[in-house]
Every structure is written in structure tokens, then in C-alpha cells.
Structure 1
Amino acid sequence: MSATSERRERERAQRHQLIITAARELAETEGWEAVTTRRLADRVEYSQPVLYSHFNGKDAIVSAVALDGFGELADQLRRARQSVAAPGPAALGAVCRTYLRFATERPALYQAMFILPTTLTFASAETPASLQACFEQFVSCFPPDGEQRDLAAEVVWSALHGLAVLAENGRIPPEGQEDRVELLIARIAGLR
């Protein structure tokens, strides 16, 4: 590849990331309904055709934002899990609390990752590595020789998602979230 081609590819990757960052910032400040190609084009100072050369519409932009979010979440969950010496209740508690904190602190990003339509594939051979890495952090909280580790991880993740969405929408009070996490670990995860 020539130096000119490499430079063009670098510039394209930078534009791509600039669009993702702008979409994320706009969603975080004004909500996803404010994220339109026209607004993004104005914000990044490129034409709408340039945006469409990177993304085939809003769903593709949301998917790219979500993919970035899964990378961040995977890193945070990994650090939380590794902050505890071994698989078990303490590791699962650290991962659960980190997950809920992420959902609370980044509601627009969480919405892109789990609520809005995306092109991302879950639980299949086509699942992106960052999504798999998130799931693996939950699985790794259970003893390696434990039965149904993947199933237990799915149930815990599903319960946390429910807690996050219900809390965000005011359906359950924010106080008591720690008690919910403790109950989840004690009963559903069967680690206590």
C-alpha cells in the first residue's frame, strides 16, 4: 500500500470515528431522536453524502456507537472482575455493580447498545469480539468447573438489564439497587 493510500485510510478512519463520537455526544446531550444525518453533518462539518459513505443510515450509526460502548463496557467489566482474586460471589458482585453503574452513567450509550435497533448480532458466530468479551466477564465469575456457567451468566445479565431499564424509567426506586444485586447473587447465581 502506498503512503498516499495509507494516509487516505487513516483519514477515513478518523472521519468514521469523528462521526461516531459526534453521534454519541449529541445523543448524550439531546437524546437519540436528535441524532439525524443532517445534524451530524453540521456537527462534524462534512456533507451528508460523506456521512452516507461511512454509514448506511441511522441504524448503522447507532450500531457503531453501540460497538464502541461494548468495547468500553468489556474493559470496565474485566477490570472489575480482575479486582477480585477468584471466581465467585465477590467477582460477580463487582461485575454486576460495574454493569449497573455503566448503564446509569451512560444512558444514551446503554440505549444504543441494548434498546435501539442495531445491526449487531448477539449469541452467534457473527457476534463481535467486544460483545463476546462482555459476556465472558460474566461467565468468568462462575467457577470453571461449574455447571451451566453460560446459562447462569445469561440469567444474571438479563436480570441486570431489567434492573437497569426499570430504574432508568423510574419503574423501581434507585434506592435498594444494592439489595437487588445482593439478592441476585444469592438466589439466582447460587453463589451464596
Structure 2
Amino acid sequence: MSSGARIRSASVQERKERERAERERLIVATARELAELQGWDAVTTRRLAERIEYSQPVLYSHFRGKREIIGAVALQGATELAAAVRAATTAAIGPRERVAALARAYLDFAASNPAVYDAIFQLDGGLAYAQEETPEMLNAAFAVLLENLGEVTGDGVDPGLFTEVFWAALHGLATLARAGRLLPEGAKRGTGPLVDRLARL
């Protein structure tokens, strides 16, 4: 094969890869949009194929089914959650302010992106959590919590365990607020006692 032919072949391959990546982004974005508007029950491969104007076989060439699509949304959402928490804590001054900013950013993300939040923490997206094969995006999201909470962990308490407990409390506030089990603004008001009681400041 001549050098010109090899260049043309590489160019065609790169274009196909870009097109494939763009289709995958479109599928994930459409699934997110539909889930946020109508809930995850409304997200089916047939409806997604209709909305993106591709055939179902094309969709299945990217994802084996809804479970993998949920997983892709979860990974994307975990990256966004980590970025939101990092931005909030970077702007805060002092340990207490950072922990409080972390809590607010987490709850704001959960409230603003309920379908994505469910994909990360409630639904089966085929992802491994707290295991060796856990995807890097999930580990990175936990790491952002750990780096901010590690400095306020009490003596003799494992920072990883403390971070898990603190996360569990935030998850409880977010979940109860969405279910209407807390008074309006109850989740945000709950961050004050949570920070003061759990964090060693």
C-alpha cells in the first residue's frame, strides 16, 4: 500500500471513530434528557433509537442494552459531581467551610440532576463499586470527597470509613428530600448539624 493510500485509510478510520464517538455521546445525552423529563422507565432502546433517528441495531452496536446506557450516564454523572464538589470546595476557606461547601454542592447536584443521581447510586448500570475493577470516574468522585473530609476525620478514625459514613448521611438527606420525607429545605438545613457533629473541627 502506498503512503498516500495509508494516509487515506487512516483518515477514513479516524473519521469513523469520531462519528462513532459522536453517536455514543448522542445516545447518552438523549437517555439523560429523557430520564430527567420522564423518569428511567421511559428510557427504552426503541424510544432512544427513534429520538436519535438511528436504527436499534446501530444503538446496540454501542450499548448492549439499557443497563449499559445507565452505566454510561452514571460515569458521566460521577465526573460532573466530582467537578461540582471540587469547584465548591476550592473556593472555600478553612476546613469547616470546605466541608460545608462539599455538602451543599453534593445536595445541589442530587436535586438538580435526579435521574443522573439515580443512575450513579440507585440503579444497576453494571458498574462495580468499592472493588478493584471500579471505574476510575467513580474512584475519582470518591477521592474528591476523601481529600476534603480527610482533614476533619477524628483521631483513630479511618478517613476512608469516615468519608463513607459522611457520604451515606448526605445520600440519606438527598433521598429523603426527593421523597418528600423532609420539610422544605430540610436537607440543606441538615448539613449544619451534620458538619458540626461528624467533622472534627
TM-score by length of structure 2 reads 0.89
Q: Distance in 1 between matches of 2:127 and 2:198?
A: 28
Q: Look up the match of 1:155.
A: 165
Sequence identity (%): 49
4+ long deviations beyond 4 Å: 144-147
Q: Look up the match of 2:186.
A: 176
Q: Compare CA radii of gyration and give the structure with the larger one.
A: 2
Q: Which runs of 5 or more residues in structure 2 are unaligned?
A: 1-8
Q: Distance in 1 between matches of 2:127 and 2:39?
A: 21
Within a 5 Å distance, the mapping from 1:133-148 to structure 2 comes to: 133-141=140-148, 142-143=150-151, 147-148=157-158
Q: Which runs of 5 or more residues in structure 1 are unaligned?
A: none
Q: Distance in 2 between matches of 1:159 and 1:15?
A: 37
Shift of 1:7: 0.8
Q: Look up the match of 2:72.
A: 64
Q: Distance in 2 between matches of 1:145 and 1:31?
A: 37
1:166-190 C-alpha deviation (Å, 9 max, x unpaired): 1101111233323311111111223
**Structure 2 residue 15 is the aligned partner of structure 1 residue 7:** yes
**Structure 2 residue 20 is the aligned partner of structure 1 residue 21:** no
Q: Distance in 1 between matches of 2:193 and 2:93?
A: 22
Q: Distance in 1 between matches of 2:17 and 2:186?
A: 49
8 A Cα contact 2:49 2:56, kept in partner: yes
Please, what is the CA RMSD of the aligned residues? 1.6
Q: 1:97 aligns with which of 74, 99, 104?
A: 104
Secondary structure of 1:143's counterpart equals helix
Q: Look up the match of 2:136.
A: 129
Q: Look up the match of 2:114.
A: 107
Q: Distance in 1 between matches of 2:33 and 2:147?
A: 32
Q: Distance in 1 between matches of 2:73 and 2:129?
A: 16
